[in-house]
């Protein structure tokens, strides 16, 4: 079945994160982003894409700080209230009924009750006419201890991270489940040795 090239997000399940920032006037702002990814394994960088008209983008460009909070499936009802277009003077934590979680290294708070929190600083921008690719450096990251498994990773069945599948009618909320299978990174390389192994965590 053929689709239009602009429908490309139909082919993917996307992450959902909540990005918190603070305006130059000191107002807290919160918005969901799905155009978000960690940038390559074993770096401390993340990448997000934002339309220019977002307060989130304006705040990040104004003071360079933001927090990425990772919501779980039970928070699906909280996402749209944070996506509503409020004027910049409105505190979106209050509007969405979400509690702030103090950060250590940046001014914006994270969102309490999430799975993980990444305190970030703006590193680079790729500026296009209508959108910007924002590269951020993770200064500090915390993950909710109860969802860490014995491998030191996220127990998906416990965590139930929130995902989104986009179609012509809107956003369908989803989560991820484990297949119970895994492979070491070394399986990509002859001899089973992962050349990035010693850099992981730096
Ligand atoms: C699930 C979901 C994902 C979204 N992802 C993005 C995104 O990646 N980039 C973007 O610019 N807007 C995205 N949006 C739209 C913004 O969240 C929305 O316009 C929000 O009101 C922006 O708030 P702000 O102006 O306070 O930054 C998304 C909305 C939803 C519901």
Summarised one tens digit per residue, pLDDT across range 108-154 is 999 999 999 999 999 999 999 999 999 999 999 999 999 999 999 99
Q: What is the number of structural domains in the chain?
A: 1
Q: Report if residue 188 sits inside a domain.
A: no
Kindly report the number of other CB atoms within 10 A of residue 176's CB atom: 16
pLDDT value of position 134: 98
Domain that holds residue 40: 5-146+160-177
Distance 74 CA to ligand 1 centre (A): 19
What is the CB < 6 Å shell around ligand 1?
Answer: 16, 29, 31-35, 49-51, 54-56, 79, 83-85, 164, 171
Q: Report if residue 169 sits inside a domain.
A: yes
Confidence of residue 77 (pLDDT cuts 50, 70, 90): very high
Question: Which residue out of 21, 23, 34 has the highest number of ligand 1 atoms within 8 Å of its CB and is therefore the one to mutate?
Answer: 34
CATH number of the domain that residue 60 is part of:
2.30.110.10
């Amino acid at each position: 079945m053929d689709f239009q090239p602009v429908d490309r997000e139909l082919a993917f399940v996307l992450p959902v994160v909540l990005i918190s920032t603070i305006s130059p006037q000191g107002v807290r702002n919160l918005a969901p982003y799905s155009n978000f990814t960690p940038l390559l394994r074993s770096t401390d960088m993340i990448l997000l894409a934002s339309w220019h008209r977002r307060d989130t983008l304006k705040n990040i460009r104004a003071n360079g700080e933001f927090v990425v909070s990772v919501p779980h499936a039970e928070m699906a009802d909280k996402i749209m209230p944070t996506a509503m277009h409020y004027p910049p003077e409105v505190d979106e934590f209050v509007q969405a009924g979400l509690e702030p979680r103090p950060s250590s290294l940046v001014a914006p708070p994270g969102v309490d009750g999430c799975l993980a929190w990444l305190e970030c600083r703006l590193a680079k921008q790729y500026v296009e006419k209508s959108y910007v690719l924002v590269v951020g450096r993770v200064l500090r990251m915390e993950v909710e201890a109860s969802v860490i498994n014995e491998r030191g990773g996220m127990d998906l069945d416990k965590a139930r991270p929130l995902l989104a599948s986009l179609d012509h009618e809107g956003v369908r909320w989803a989560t991820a489940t484990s297949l119970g299978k895994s492979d070491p990174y070394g399986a990509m390389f002859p001899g089973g040795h992962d050349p990035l192994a010693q850099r992981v965590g730096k």
